[in-house]
Structure 1
Amino acid sequence: MSALDERVTALKSAIEAAGDVIDPALAGPAEATFTHAQERLDLSTQHTVVVLAGSTGSGKSSLFNRLAGLELAEVGYLRPTTSTALACAWGPAGATELLDWIGVARRDQITRRSVLDAPRDDAFEGLVLLDLPDHDSVVAANQEVVDHVARYADLFVWVLDPQKYADAAIHARYITPLATHADASLVVLNQADRLSDTDLKMAMDDLEQILEREGFAGVPVIATSAVTGAGLPELRAEIGRRIKSKRASQARLVGDVRQVARRLAETGGVEPVPGLERPVRDALVETFVACAGVPQIADAVEDSMARRAVVATDWPLIGWVGRLRHDPLRELGFGRSARDAVADTMPISPSVQRARADLALREATEVATEGMSRPWRASVIDAIVGEGARDVIDELDEAVAGVDLGLKRQPLWWTAVGALQWFTFLAVIAGAGWAVASIFGLVEPDPWEGAPRPLGLSLPLLLVAGGLLFGVILTLVSRWLGGVGARRAGARAEKKLIEAINRTTERIVVARLRSELDRYDRWRNGLATAGR
C-alpha cells in the first residue's frame, strides 16, 4: 500500500467513525479530496505538474522562459491576457487532458515534443510547467486563477525576490497554509544577481529561518538569476529529480490528505481520554446497587427467611401466629418486582432513584470522556444516557427480577425440627388429656401398678412438662439456627444481586461506552495516520 493509499484509507476510516459528529461542511472537503486524488491519478501518473508562483516583479515569467527554453516574446500571442496560466508540457504525448482538467485553456498550452526538439531534454520528460499570474495583482481574477490552479499542482516552486521574500501576502495566503505540502515544495530566491555575495547569504539565511517557522524546515531553497543563469542548473536538477522519482504527484496528494486531516483534528479534537476507569466504574455500580434497592432486598430476604424458619420450626401454635405476619417478598412472582416489594422501606422514592441513577451515569460518562471536543462528547453522552438509551432503572429492575433469591429453598432441618415440634406438641396434648381424664377418674394416672414418678410427677404430667421443656429448647435452638441461615440467605441474595447489576452495568454502560470510545479511537488513529 502506497503512502497515499494508506492515508486515504485512514482518513476515510476516521470520517466513517465520526459519522454525524463532524459537521458536513468539514467532512465535505475530505470527500472532495478523495475524488480529486482519484481523478488526478486516473488522468496521468507520468506527468508532474510544476507551478511557478510568486509576487509581482519576482521574475516568474523570466524564470519560466529560461526553464522552458522558449522565447515567450515570439509566442506571446498565445497568452492574450495576464489573468491566465501559461503551460508548457514536455513529451511527445503532451498533457492536453490533464491541462483541460486543471482548467488551462487550449490557447495557453504549449507542447515541447522532445522527439522533434534539438537537443532533446530527457530530464524534463513528463514535466508540465505552469506560469501563474501574480498572486498579489490588483486584478481579483488573477488571484482566483492562482487559487484555482494551485489546487492541481504536484510541485510548488515559490518564486521570491530579494525585496519581498518576507512579504506577508504570499506567506500568509499561500505558503503557511500549505505547510502540510512541504514535501511538494521548492523555494527559489530569484534575482540573486542584484545582491552581493554577503547580502545574498544573509537573505538566504533569513528566508530559511522564516520557512522553518512556517513548517518548511528542510525544503530546498535555491538562489537563481534568470539574467545570469545562476542557480538554474540546480533548479533544473531538483525539478528533474522530482520528475524522475514519479512521486511528486503522490507527494502533493499526500499533502492534500494531510491538510484535511489536520483541519479535522483541529475542529473535531484528537485529545486522548481516560475512559471508564475502574474506580469510576465501581462507584457507578455502587450507585446502581443503592438505586436498585439491593440492601433493602437483601434485608427483606433475610427477614423473610427468618420468618419462614420460625413458621416451619416453631412450636405449632406459635408458628401459626407467625403465618399472620406480613412478608413483602411472599408476593413476588405475581407481577411485582423485588424493588417494588420493598419500596416502602427504601430511603428515597423511585422517581428520585431513577434521577440519581441517570445523574451518576452522566457523571461517569463525563469523566470517561474528559478531553473530548464538545461535539464528540455530546455524541457519546447522548448515546449512553440520551433518548436512544433505555432507562437505566428499568434495565436494573429486569436484572434484579431475573435473580433467584432462594426464597423457595426449604432446608431439610426445617422439616426435621418441624416434625419434632409436632411430636412434642402431640405429647403435651396427650399428657394434658391423660391428666384431665385421670382427674375425673376415667383413667388411671399410672399405666401400671408401681409406675415410677420422676420428680414426683405422674406420667401424664411428665409428658406435659417434658414436651413443653423440649419444645422451648427446640424453639430457641431453631430460632438461632434460623437467624444464622437467614443472614446467610440475605448475603447470598445480595451477592447475586450485585453480580447481576455488575453484568447489567457491563452490558448497558461499559460495553456501550467502550464502543463509543473505540469509535473515537478510530477517529484519532485515522487522523494521526492521515495527518502525519
Structure 2
Amino acid sequence: MSRHSGARGSTRLDDRLQSLQDARELGEGVVPDEALQEAFDVLERASSRRSLSADHTVVGFFGATGSGKSSLFNAVSGAEVATAAARRPTTSEPLAGVWGATGSEALLDWLEVGNRHQAAAVDGFADEQTGLILLDLPDFDSTRAANREIVQRMVGMVDVLVWVLDPQKYADAALHNGFLAPLATHGAVTLVVLNQVDRLPAHDVQPVLDSLHAILAGEGLGQVRVLASSAVTGAGIPEVRAAIRKVAVLRQAQSRRLDADLTKAAEDLRRASGEGEAAGVRAAAKTRLAEELAQAANVPAVVRAVGQSYRLESVRRTGWPVTRWLSRFRPDPLRRLNLRRDAPAELNRTSLPPAGAPERARTDAAVREFADSASAGAPGPWRAAIRATARAGRDRLPDALDQAIAGTDLGANRKAWWWGLFNIPQWLALLTVLGGLGWLGVLAGLAYLQLPVPEVPRVEGWPVPTLMIAFGLVLGIFLAITGRFIAAGAARARAARARRRLNSAVAGAAQELVVAPVEAEIARLAAFNKALKKAGPG
C-alpha cells in the first residue's frame, strides 16, 4: 500500500470512528444500553489500539480443549517458544511469542499478557523486522471462568484471529454460535485451521474441509481461508506460516480489524435500533393539531365573548343616550374571562374554566394522532421515543394554552371609527328632542300663568316643537337600530380576527411544546441513520 493510500485509509477510518461515536451519542435514551455499550467498547478499543504500536501485528490462536492449539502454536513459532510453552501442562494464561521487541511492551501491557517470549527468527516466517506477536490463549471451552473471560476479551482485542479446530469437533455449536457466527464481519482478519488432520484417513480430509467450508459459508464466513495442518507431522505448517506472515508484512491487519469492528458495531446498533425513517411532520398534521387544541382550550368561547363584548360596547357608544346607560348593568364577557386588559401585561392567566375530562381527552387524542402521524415508518424504539416526547409536551399544554390565550391581543380596548360618527348625531337628536320639549314647556307655562302665548311656527300645519320632538326620537331610534346592525357585522369581523390570532397563539404553544420537540426527535433519528451509514462499510 502506498503512503497516500494508507493516509486515505486512515482518514476514512477516522471518519467512521467519529460517525460511530456520533451515532452512539444520538442513540442514547432510545437504543438499548447494551448496544450502546458495545459501540462504546469498540471506540475505546480502537482508540487504545491506534495509540499503540502500528508496526506489530497481534495474532491470537483460539481453540477448544484437545484441538492441539498449543501444539500448532509451537509448531508455527519454532523450538524456542515450544520449550517455554512445554513448562505449562495446559494453557491457563496467554503466552506471547514476540518477533521485534521494540515497541511491543506497551501493546502487550494493554493486552495484559505477562508471559512473553522473545522468539528466535524462523526462516521465511518472522524475524526482528517482522513485528509479529503470536498469542497462545486459553481454551474457549475451559471449565475455569477466568480462562473463558480471557478468551472473550482477547477475541475483541487481537488483530488477527486464528481458530484452531479438530476433526472431531469442528462443527461444535458452542464455537460457531458463540464466536464465529457473531464475527461474520471479521472474515478479512480470520483464519481457520483444521488441525490434527493426521488423525483422519487421507481420503476423508477433503470432505471434512468441504463440510467446514459449508458451515462457515452459512455463517457469513464463506470468504475465510481454511487450511489443514498437523502439528505432529508438520503438514500444512508452511501454509499457516505463510498466511500469518502475509498479514504481518502488509501491516493492514490492525486497520482491517478496526474496520471489521466498526462494521459489526454499526450493524449491531442498526439491529438494536431498527431500520427506517420517520414520515416527519406535515403541514396538515400541524394544522389539525392546532385546531384540536384550540377547541380543547375553549377558543370558540373566547371568540364568542369577543363578538359579544364588541356588540355590548357598541351599544354603550352608539345607543339612544337616554337608555344606553342600562347596558352598563350587563357584564362584559371578556372582563368576566379576564381578557379585557387595561394594561398590556397586567394578566397572564384567564378565567376560563379549567380543562375537564372531555378537554383532556381531546388534547390527548390530538397529540397522540400527531405523534403517530409524524413517527410513521420509524423503527420501534424511535417511534416510542417520538411518542414519549410528544406526551411530555402534552402535560404542559393546558397551562401554556391558557397563557397563550391570555397573552393574545384581542383588540378589546380598540375603539371603532364609526362609534364617533354615530354618537354625535345621537346627542344632536337628543338635544333636538329636549329643545322641542323645552319649547312646549315654556308655552305651557305662559298659558298657565295667563300670560300672552306667542304664535308657534308651523310646518305643513305641524308645530315646530312637536316636529323637533318627533324628528329627534325617530332619528335616535333609527341610529340605534342601524348601529346594532353595523355592530353585528363589525363584531363578526373582530371575532374572526380574534380567532386567527388565538389560533396562531395556540399553534405557537403547540409548536413549542409538541411540534418542535417531535421534529427534533425525528431529526435526531435522521442524523443517527446518517451517522450509522457513514460508520458502516464504505
Shorter-chain-normalised TM-score: which range? Answer: 0.7 to 0.9
Task: Indicate if the aligned counterparts of 2:405 and 2:502 stay in contact, CA closer than 8 A.
Answer: yes
TM-score by length of 1: 0.83
Flag the 1:181–1:123 CA change in 2: closer, same or farther, 3 A.
farther
Matches within 5 A, 1:397-408: 397-408=402-413
Q: Which residue of structure 2 lines up, in the alignment, with residue 446 of structure 1?
A: 456
Change (3 A) 1:465 1:145: closer
1:154 equivalenced with 2:143 (yes/no):
no
1:467 matches 2:475: no
Q: Using a 3 Å threshold, how does the CA distance of structure 1 residues 86 and 468 change in structure 2: closer, same or farther? A: same
* 1:511 lines up with 2:516 in the alignment: yes
Q: Distance in 2 between matches of 1:483 and 1:445?
A: 46
Q: Which of 426-435 and 223-232 deviates more?
A: 223-232
Structure 1 residue runs of 5 or longer lacking an equivalent are 344-348
- Give the one of 159, 164, 169 matched to 2:174: 169
Residue 478 of structure 1 is matched in structure 2 by 483
Q: Rate the CA distance shift 1:137–1:295 in 2: closer, same or farther, 3 A.
A: closer
**Cα offset for 1:46?**
0.8
Q: CA RMSD in A?
A: 3.6
Q: 2:6 maps to what in 1?
A: none
Q: Which residue of 1 aligns with 2:60?
A: 51
How far does residue 235 in structure 1 lie from its aligned partner after superposition?
A: 4.2
* Corresponding residue for residue 252 of structure 1: 257
Match of 2:3 in 1: none
CA distance in 1, matches of 2:467, 2:251: 116
Cα distance in 2, alignment partners of residues 249 and 79 from structure 1: 30
Partners of 1:338 and 1:445 in 2: how far apart? 67
Match of residue 210 from structure 1: 215
Q: Mind listing any 5+ residue stretches in structure 2 that lack a counterpart? A: 1-9
The percentage of aligned residue pairs carrying the same residue is 37
1: distance between equivalents of 2:70 and 2:521?
A: 55
Letter in 2 for 1:420: P
Which letter maps to 2:181?
Answer: T
Contact in 1 for aligned 2:308/2:333 (Cα 8 Å):
no
Matched, 1:428 2:416: no
Name which of structure 1's ranges 396-405 and 320-329 shifts more when overlaid on structure 2: 320-329
Retained in 2: the 8 A contact 1:281–1:364? no
Q: Distance in 2 between matches of 1:128 and 1:288?
A: 68
Letter in 2 for 1:446: V
1:408 to partner: Cα distance? 1.7
Instruction: Write the distance in 2 (CA, Å) between the matches of 1:407 and 1:445.
Output: 53
Q: Distance in 1 between matches of 2:138 and 2:58?
A: 16
Q: Is the 8 A contact 1:50 1:130 kept in 2?
A: yes
Query: Which has the higher mean CA deviation after the structures are superposed, 27-36 or 463-472?
Result: 27-36
1:87 aligns with 2:92: no
The answer on whether the counterparts of 1:103 and 1:149 sit within 8 Å (CA) in structure 2 is no
TM-score (norm 2): 0.82
1:40 maps onto 2:49 in alignment: yes
Greater CA drift, 82-91 or 193-202: 193-202
Q: CA deviation at 1:421?
A: 1.2
1:317 aligned counterpart, secondary structure: coil
Distance 2:455 2:329 in 1: 38
The SS at the match of 2:322 is helix
After the TM superposition, which of the residue ranges 353-362 and 289-298 deviates more from structure 2?
Answer: 353-362
Separation in 1, partners of 2:348, 2:322:
32
Amino acid at match of 2:309: S
Counterpart contact for 1:438–1:445, Cα < 8 Å: no
Q: Provide the residue aligned with 1:103 in structure 2.
A: 112
User: Hey, what's the Cα distance between the residues in 1 that align with 2:455 and 2:209?
Assistant: 133
User: 5 Å matches for 1:7-86?
Assistant: 7-19=16-28, 27-70=36-79, 76-77=85-86, 79=88, 81-86=90-95
Moved more, 435-444 or 389-398: 435-444
Question: CA contact under 8 A between 1:445 and 1:460: conserved in structure 2?
Answer: no
8 Å contact 1:261–1:527 — kept in the other structure? yes
Cα gap change, 1:89 to 1:315, in 2 (>3 Å): same
- Count residues in correspondence: 516
- Answer yes or no: is the 8 Å Cα contact 1:354–1:392 preserved in 2: no
One-letter amino acid of the structure 1 residue matched with residue 401 of structure 2: L
In structure 2, the CA distance between the partners of 1:142 and 1:291, relative to structure 1 (3 Å rule), is: closer
Q: How far does residue 285 in structure 1 lie from its aligned partner after superposition?
A: 1.2
1:294-314 CA distances to partner (integer Å, 9 max, x unpaired)?
A: 111111111111122222222
Work out whether residues 80 and 119 of structure 2, in 8 Å CA contact, stay in contact via their aligned partners in 1. Answer: no
1:298 corresponds in structure 2 to 303
Q: Which has the higher mean CA deviation after the structures are superposed, 53-62 or 408-417?
A: 53-62
Distance 2:249 2:293 in 1: 67
The Cα of 1:435 is off from its aligned counterpart by 3.2
Q: Deviations over 1:147-191 (max 9, x none)?
A: 343332111122334443222121122112222423321223345
- What CA deviation, in whole Å up to 9, does each residue of 1:403-443 have, x standing for no partner? 11111222222101110111112112212332343355475
For the residues of structure 1 that align with 2:522 and 2:487, how far apart are their CA atoms?
Answer: 50
Contact 1:292 1:339 in 2 (8 A): no
C-alpha offsets along residues 1-41 of structure 1, whole Å, 9 cap, x if unaligned?
54443333233323333445567666555444433333222
Deviations 1:211-248 (A, max 9, x none): 23222242233445556766555544443332233221
Q: How far apart are the structure 2 equivalents of 1:134 and 1:82?
A: 7
